[in-house]
Amino acid sequence: KPQEFTEVERWADNHLQAAGNLYRLFDSNTKAMLVEFEAESLADAKVKAGLFLRDSAKGDAA
| Cα angle, residue 26 at apex, residues 60 and 24 outer, rounded to 5° | 110
Residue 54 is predicted with a pLDDT of 84
- Full-model pTM: 0.68
Q: What is the pLDDT of residues 7-27, one digit of tens each?
A: 766 776 678 888 999 999 988
Query: Residue 2 has what pLDDT?
Result: 54
Q: Structural domain boundaries of the chain? A: 2-61
Rounded to 10 deg, the angle between the 42-61 and 2-15 helix axes is 110
